[in-house]
Structure 1
Amino acid sequence: MFHYTLETKKSVEQTVDSIQASLKSEGFGVLWDFNVKDTLQEKGYELNHTYRILEVCNPGEAKSMIDQNPLVSYFLPCKVVVYEEDGLTKLGMARPTKLIEFINDDKLNDTAKDIEERMIACMNQSI
């Protein structure tokens, strides 16, 4: 599966706060918190549920991977999504190990796997 998704009974806001704290403890920072619902509403479109996209980065890992292969920048920063669906909050991301397959550079697989495992651990702690 190309993604990793969890469900929680926490609110979107609680989940966002929790994942940000957990990511920070692993050296990842949230560069941008895109509130899709609010942005669409400003443009005249209604979204019936809350939807947030967090752009997440570990600067050292990003620099190392870009130095090895600039094509990896097509997938940076990583995205973590938090949204409401069917009365639950969902927390998910595209798996870095699946994204890295698109550039056919085996030397980056171990780093992508490490990043994925660390981000999954953060997500699991956040629910």
Structure 2
Amino acid sequence: MTYTINRVISGQDIDSVDARARKALADNGFGVLTEIDVKATLKKKLDVEMPAYRILGACNPGMAHQAIGIEPRVGAMLPCNVILRETEGGVEVSAIDPVASMQAIENAELKRVAGEVRDLLAKAVAAI
């Protein structure tokens, strides 16, 4: 089983794809809680160069509330990370597949919620 939902956007820079990703996430009920500029962090900490790479920590508050109500420690696995990374083919967008990430938790109700979140993330990735 794959653990991400992926799409490559050709002909655009990472900033344009970032703006489109944030809009698509918002249109599907997600906010971006965190942002990590991996390229800048690794340059600062290790003095290494790499292509642009960002991690957006996306959260759908209603779905997060449901999941925490079902399984209180599930917050250790939140938010849903979405990465944007420069590749030779364009900017790759990869969102975590919540169903795959929740496999370690034996709870059918939580898996149902994870499936709903996956559907929303897949719609967002497709809309970018």
What TM-score does the superposition give when structure 2 sets the normalisation length?
Answer: 0.91
The equivalent residue for 1:2 is 3
1:71–1:103: 8 Å Cα contact kept in structure 2?
no
**Identity among equivalent pairs (%):** 26
Instruction: State the alpha-carbon separation in 1 of the partners of residues 116 and 77 from structure 2.
Output: 16
* Structure 2 letter corresponding to 1:103: I
Matches within 5 A, 1:65-76: 65-76=67-78
Q: Cα distance 1:77–1:67, how it changes in 2: closer, same or farther (>3 A)? A: same
Quote the offset at 1:4 in angstroms: 1.5
2:28 to 1, 19, 26: 26
Instruction: State the alpha-carbon separation in 1 of the partners of residues 71 and 17 from structure 2.
Output: 33
Instruction: State the alpha-carbon separation in 2 of the partners of residues 81 and 97 from structure 1.
Output: 17
2:9–2:92: 8 Å Cα contact kept in structure 1?
yes
1:36 to 35, 38, 52: 38
* Structure 1 letter corresponding to 2:73: L
2:8–2:91: 8 Å Cα contact kept in structure 1?
yes
The equivalent residue for 1:121 is 123
Judge which range, 86-95 or 52-61, deviates more. Answer: 86-95
Instruction: State the alpha-carbon separation in 1 of the partners of residues 49 and 18 from structure 2.
Output: 19
Instruction: State the alpha-carbon separation in 1 of the partners of residues 9 and 125 from structure 2.
Output: 11
Quote the offset at 1:109 in angstroms: 1.6
Runs of 4+ in 1 over 2 A off after TM superposition: none
Segments of 5+ residues of structure 1 without an aligned counterpart are none
Instruction: State the alpha-carbon separation in 1 of the partners of residues 89 and 110 from structure 2.
Output: 38
Quote the offset at 1:48 in angstroms: 2.0
Instruction: State the alpha-carbon separation in 1 of the partners of residues 125 and 5 from structure 2.
Output: 9
Quote the offset at 1:41 in angstroms: 1.5
Segments of 5+ residues of structure 2 without an aligned counterpart are none
The equivalent residue for 2:51 is 49
What value does the CA root-mean-square deviation take over the aligned residues? 1.3
Judge which range, 74-83 or 7-16, deviates more. Answer: 7-16
2:28–2:123: 8 Å Cα contact kept in structure 1?
no
What TM-score does the superposition give when structure 1 sets the normalisation length?
Answer: 0.92
* Structure 1 letter corresponding to 2:6: T
